[in-house]
Amino acid sequence: MVRLAQFKLLVLVEMMTKSLLQAVIVLVPTYITAYLTDKMIYVIPMLAAASFVAASLSPSNLNRRVEEDGYKKDDGSN
């Protein structure tokens, strides 16, 4: 039981660390751009670009189910 609790704590700390790093990657360049330029026209693209960089840190775990030929076959019962 103790090992499970330690594992859960380790996973929680790892997730929090990754989230904090993503927040820093997005917020620091955005705030620097806002401070230096005082123009929203530069801040919004920086926010979008930094968001893409931060999102690329975590790999996606998508398992897609795809049929062999990509569409359902008609069974001819019509």
Going residue by residue through the chain, which has 78 residues, state the pLDDT in tens, using 9 for 90 and above: 678 888 888 988 888 999 899 999 999 999 999 999 998 899 999 999 999 988 888 776 667 666 666 556 666 665
Q: What is the C-alpha to C-alpha distance for residues 55 and 31, in angstroms, rounded to an integer? A: 18
Q: What is the C-alpha to C-alpha distance for residues 19 and 58, in angstroms, rounded to an integer? A: 10
pTM for the model stands at 0.64
**E strand or H helix that includes residue 49:** helix 40-55
Place of tokens 């997730």: 15
The amino acid at residue 51 is: S
**Cα 23 to chain centroid, rounded:** 11
